[in-house]
């Protein structure tokens, strides 16, 4: 069992945060991770910046651009997190677009993930069939969970197929949208969460996109194992920098501590 599977077995109301590696400052990657853990974060998605992030809204686009200007790269990221397991216990997921990983070499990438203690990978533009044909064995042998996305438009049949080939969690995208903080969760979205919950899936779901505050986080947790806060956290980092207190306050303001 990897750290993701263990966490999902043991815990509900998982609080997960996304941020872009190398932003706001190049060397902030590890300090942010440590601050998140100290504040009680359960799981972190570390974004690998890309020049053409076509599923992202303005906030994450901007953080990616700045991270690249700062000199961020996959190689640099692996250097920064090579000893993270000395201090970090949370499951860590790397999230990014396929091209930089393909260029790095998928085999080398997976091997490096295993070496530094990364537990999962999210590559939204790696198609399901391509993953299954070429990479599934590689990921499974390394015990790295490949995390798939589903959306309100994903047909039930496809969701079941994705479920059958997942071993971490399914990233349930809350609406037909790119990343970016929105104000609330609509009835239509709740209907979609219910529909997915009634499919009897084996893989737990975590909801992402549009989760920005306590209210949306708490609602999302009623329909899934947890939720991911992305753009709202990236925005905080852009404003306040990698400030320990600010990160702590942010996490505490959203996380549901009632059991």
Partner 1 sequence: MSDKSKYQVDENGMYGRFGGAFIPEMLQPNIDNLKKVYLDIINSEAFQKEYKSLLKDYVGRPSPLYLAKRLSAKYNTNVYLKREDLNHTGAHKVNNTIGQILIAKHMGKERIIAETGAGQHGVATATACALMGLKCVVYMGEVDIKRQAPNVARMKMLGAEVKAAKSGSKTLKDATNEALRDWICNPEDTFYLIGSVVGPHPYPDMVARLQAIISEEIAWQIKEQTDKEYPDYVIACVGGGSNAAGSFYHFLDDERVKLIAVEASGMGVDSGETAATIAMGDLGVIHGSKTYLMQSDDGQITEPYSISAGLDYPGIGPIHAHLHDTKRASIISATDQEALDSALELTQLEGIIPALESSHALAALGKMKFKPDDAVVITISGRGDKDMETYMNRFGF
Closer to partner 1 by Cβ: residue 40 or 127:
127
Judged by CB under 8 A, the number of residues near partner 1 is 42
The answer for residues whose C-beta is within 8 angstroms of residue 35's C-beta and 6 or more apart is 242, 244, 247, 248
The answer for residues whose C-beta is within 8 angstroms of residue 49's C-beta and 6 or more apart is 20, 21, 22, 23, 63, 64, 65, 67, 68, 72, 96
173 is a contact residue toward partner 1 (CB under 8 A) = yes
Closer to partner 1 by Cβ: residue 36 or 74:
74
150 is a contact residue toward partner 1 (CB under 8 A) = yes
Q: What minimum distance in Å lies between the beta carbon of 255 and partner 1?
A: 27
CA-CA distance, 113 to 69, in Å (whole number)?
24
**How many CB atoms are closer than 10 A to CB 69?**
12
62 is a contact residue toward partner 1 (CB under 8 A) = yes
Peptide bond into 104 cis (omega under 30): no
Closer to partner 1 by Cβ: residue 42 or 45:
45
> Do 72 and 79 meet the contact criterion of CB atoms below 8 Å apart?
no
Q: What minimum distance in Å lies between the beta carbon of 186 and partner 1?
A: 15
Q: Which residues are catalytic?
A: 45, 56
Any idea what DSSP says for residue 43? E
> Do 88 and 34 meet the contact criterion of CB atoms below 8 Å apart?
yes
CA-CA distance, 206 to 189, in Å (whole number)?
14
102 is a contact residue toward partner 1 (CB under 8 A) = yes
104 is a contact residue toward partner 1 (CB under 8 A) = yes
Specify the stretch interacting with partner 1 by CB under 8 A; choose among 25-33, 35-43, 121-129, 187-195.
Answer: 121-129
Among 70, 151, 219, 248, binds partner 1 (CB under 8 A): 151
Any idea what DSSP says for residue 85? G
52 is a contact residue toward partner 1 (CB under 8 A) = yes
195 is a contact residue toward partner 1 (CB under 8 A) = no
188 is a contact residue toward partner 1 (CB under 8 A) = no
176 is a contact residue toward partner 1 (CB under 8 A) = yes
117 is a contact residue toward partner 1 (CB under 8 A) = no
CA-CA distance, 61 to 65, in Å (whole number)?
6
Closer to partner 1 by Cβ: residue 39 or 46:
46
CA-CA distance, 132 to 129, in Å (whole number)?
5
Among 11, 25, 65, 138, binds partner 1 (CB under 8 A): 65
Query: Residues in the site for partner 1, rule: CB under 8 A?
Result: 50-58, 61-62, 65, 68, 73-75, 97-104, 124-127, 129-130, 148-151, 153-155, 158, 173, 176-178
């Amino acid at each position: 069992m990897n750290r993701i599977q263990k966490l999902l077995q043991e815990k509900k109301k998982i609080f997960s945060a996304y941020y872009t590696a190398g932003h706001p400052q190049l060397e902030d990657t590890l300090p942010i991770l440590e601050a998140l853990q100290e504040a009680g974060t359960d799981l972190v998605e570390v974004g690998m910046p890309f020049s053409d992030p076509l599923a992202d809204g303005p906030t994450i686009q901007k953080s990616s651009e700045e991270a690249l200007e700062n000199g961020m790269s996959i190689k640099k990221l692996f250097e920064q997190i090579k000893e993270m397991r000395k201090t970090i216990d949370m499951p860590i997921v790397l999230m990014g677009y396929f091209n930089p990983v393909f260029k790095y070499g998928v085999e080398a990438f997976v091997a490096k993930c295993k070496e530094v203690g990364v537990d999962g990978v999210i590559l939204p533009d790696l198609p399901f069939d391509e993953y299954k044909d070429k990479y599934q064995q590689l990921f499974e042998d390394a015990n790295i969970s490949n995390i798939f996305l589903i959306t309100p438009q994903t047909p039930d049949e496809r969701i079941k197929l994705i479920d059958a080939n997942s071993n971490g969690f399914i990233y349930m995208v809350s609406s037909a949208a790119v990343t970016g903080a929105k104000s609330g969760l609509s009835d239509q979205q709740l209907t979609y969460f219910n529909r997915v919950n009634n499919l009897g899936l084996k893989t737990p779901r975590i909801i992402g996109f549009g989760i920005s505050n306590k209210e949306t986080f708490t609602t999302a947790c009623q329909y899934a194992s947890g939720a991911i806060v992305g753009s709202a956290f990236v925005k905080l980092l852009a404003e306040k920098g990698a400030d320990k207190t600010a990160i702590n306050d942010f996490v505490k303001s959203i996380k549901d501590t009632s059991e």
